Structure 1
């Protein structure tokens, strides 16, 4: 294909439609790369689609995957669906006065949720393309925003004739990625409109909702983590703009969302930094962050990079605690514990708390050693010690052992 250097640097077009039409002519008929006329992502997608299916004039077929794959996909994406449920309802209200519909796909581009309810008078494709199970991947339906984002894990906008196949050129769509706790693509959120261009910034809207779904998913997938929310002003801590970081019980940053990575000056988006210690990047030790988790008020924090942030910390644990009397079967001292009277056995939580406190005492206050001895995380030990510290200020109340 001839390089796009032969094209005028700043061509003038009467409309976006004319610009895209000229780009298609250059690409499909003249073999010229239309750089600057459409996005590089669209050009690369056209090139991939052209190699797979040269007849770009034919109609795309929007078909569901097999019933067994639909069931499997829905089962495998239960966490994503749960994280998105509330936001999809909000998005339905947000879009109610527009011609747009929201679709949620898995990482492969298969639809797992949609806000579509009833076709408008001009819509012919929407009732077909929004069905759960329909495959919107680039391999299935050519260049579309959800398919492009599913392939690249990057936000995208595809308008009108930027779509590869003929019938899809009625569509206008904007999509944003949703990542999981390990930085992998978990799903794609897409806004689509048939026959009517967006009258608002669809990329910003879909990005906002995708970020909130991602944050909910990250928190849901965090077990035995101290989740740190951070932003430059406290009012942003409960918004999609919040930076989130998951800290392990030994003080390691296990994951970051994109906002946190940017605030901390760490490369990449939602990812698991290799051996990144929280104190090196946040500027305070884990113990300080743990102490802040006891209260709901945001705390000011000066980062090593000089930025002043507000942070709030919360512990996230698995549902149901593992009984410590089972993992602590080997005695942690030479003197066996005195059994509770048979008629009044200690509650499980109380027994767990006493076992942890005793282990820390036997280890001369070394939390890491006590955690290794009991086979649990440092974070879990810290929570019980923190409950003791809080109870010391409230002697009339028993210590909490959650």
Structure 2
């Protein structure tokens, strides 16, 4: 580094690292605090940046134990791995899954001949924690539980300074770190935002894990738009059959300002989160999307599933949920008069641009009248409500069904 001018970020980071290790000058403003703290831990652990990294796998027995202990997590990874591999395409990237300690338990194939580190480092059983390989994205996540990126010279060891890696945490139903998803590139900086990609797929794996670990829970999925409820961007909450919050995923944590860690949040029930009670939510199981008001003022769309052992259970029509002691009106028997009521939503309604729920009801009824050529009986049957209710709503909304007859 005889050149007095350091133009690229990698050159500036390399210089800052050299000055920190050799002269004790803090790399303020050059690297993130997470990377600096990792450097400090490695330095205190008597690591040297010139040390050779062997990437030796842990013992066979420990590898087998890691796979056995994380069987459900690994199955969730296997479900997402084909799509993740296709998404990365020819981007010269590899994806890996580690357990909470950084031991690798899953990897996409390394298929680029010019890669020298990835084929060795991305093997089942290799320990990627700070104690073994210094500063890496998976190592930081294993230590802090927070997303991390480590690019090029930000790595502690010179031997891996050609690597670029971004990792995100995956939590279990106890809110604990269950695993780490990482995307790495060797020798070539990312030409896309890896944090967005790894964040989405980590969320998808986390959602699969949470569902697989849930037994006898009411699972509520929610988001602002029905169209994204079946995506990794969905908020998910698990309530026990007494209506108490058991877990929530990372998206729900952000939307509700509640920690995924039970010890770091107050005890919550359905009524603390939604404007409706447990019985009303339970009655929505198997009946599509509903508009709901959250206690924090947000309005969202929800869909509910009763998760039993072996998979989700959809209650038969008119069958009361097992925890409902008294008969409750089915939500699909109601077209609401107030924003706090739940209303069934047809996915064909898309983003529901209506300015109010009343207008949304009118749009939905008009759409069905058009579809069934003004036949009120067919409209009521399709919406699973009584004809009398449809006639009352037509009168309130000023809609003439005869105009739709052809």
The two structures have a TM-score, normalised by structure 2, of 0.75
In the TM superposition, what whole-angstrom CA distance separates every residue of 1:210-263 from its partner, at most 9, and x where no partner exists?
011001111111110000001111111111110000011111011111211222
Equivalent residue number for residue 239 of structure 2: 247
How many Å separate the matches in 2 of 1:312 and 1:163?
A: 44
Equivalent residue number for residue 53 of structure 2: 60
Q: CA deviation at 1:389?
A: 12
User: Partner of 2:36: helix, strand, or coil?
Assistant: helix
How many Å separate the matches in 1 of 2:97 and 2:295?
A: 38
User: Partner of 2:150: helix, strand, or coil?
Assistant: strand
Equivalent residue number for residue 166 of structure 1: 158
Equivalent residue number for residue 125 of structure 1: 117
How many Å separate the matches in 2 of 1:389 and 1:145?
A: 46
Equivalent residue number for residue 302 of structure 1: 293
Q: Give the ranges of 4+ consecutive aligned residues of structure 1 lying more than 6 Å apart after TM superposition.
A: 383-386
Equivalent residue number for residue 6 of structure 1: none
Equivalent residue number for residue 74 of structure 1: 67
How many Å separate the matches in 1 of 2:257 and 2:101?
A: 30
Q: How many residues of Structure 1 are paired with residues of Structure 2 in the alignment?
A: 324
The answer to whether the 8 Å contact 1:178/1:186 transfers is yes
Q: Give unpaired runs (5+ residues) of structure 2.
A: 312-318, 333-380, 382-406
How many Å separate the matches in 2 of 1:229 and 1:159?
A: 35
The answer to whether the 8 Å contact 1:107/1:186 transfers is yes
Equivalent residue number for residue 284 of structure 2: 292
Residues 307/47 of structure 1: CA separation in 2 closer, same or farther (3 Å cut): same
Q: CA deviation at 1:54?
A: 3.8
The answer to whether the 8 Å contact 2:152/2:164 transfers is yes
Equivalent residue number for residue 260 of structure 2: 269
In the TM superposition, what whole-angstrom CA distance separates every residue of 1:73-98 from its partner, at most 9, and x where no partner exists?
11111100111112111111111211
Q: Give unpaired runs (5+ residues) of structure 1.
A: 1-11, 321-356, 358-366, 368-378, 395-402
How many Å separate the matches in 2 of 1:38 and 1:263?
A: 30
User: Partner of 2:246: helix, strand, or coil?
Assistant: strand
The answer to whether the 8 Å contact 1:142/1:165 transfers is yes
Equivalent residue number for residue 35 of structure 1: 28
User: Residue 85 of structure 1 is aligned with which of 68, 71, 78?
Assistant: 78
Equivalent residue number for residue 94 of structure 1: 87
Q: CA deviation at 1:68?
A: 0.4
The answer to whether the 8 Å contact 1:109/1:188 transfers is yes
Q: CA deviation at 1:26?
A: 2.6
The answer to whether the 8 Å contact 2:238/2:248 transfers is yes
User: Partner of 2:161: helix, strand, or coil?
Assistant: helix
How many Å separate the matches in 2 of 1:103 and 1:207?
A: 13
Equivalent residue number for residue 314 of structure 1: 305
Alignment of 1:231-246 (within 5 A): 231-246=223-238
Q: Superposition RMSD on alpha carbons, in Å? A: 2.7
Equivalent residue number for residue 339 of structure 2: none
Residues 311/270 of structure 1: CA separation in 2 closer, same or farther (3 Å cut): farther
The answer to whether the 8 Å contact 2:107/2:123 transfers is yes
How many Å separate the matches in 1 of 2:43 and 2:296?
A: 47
How many Å separate the matches in 2 of 1:218 and 1:69?
A: 25
User: Residue 192 of structure 1 is aligned with which of 169, 174, 184?
Assistant: 184
The answer to whether the 8 Å contact 2:154/2:161 transfers is yes
The answer to whether the 8 Å contact 2:105/2:124 transfers is yes
Equivalent residue number for residue 115 of structure 1: 108
In the TM superposition, what whole-angstrom CA distance separates every residue of 1:325-372 from its partner, at most 9, and x where no partner exists?
xxxxxxxxxxxxxxxxxxxxxxxxxxxxxxxx9xxxxxxxxx9xxxxx
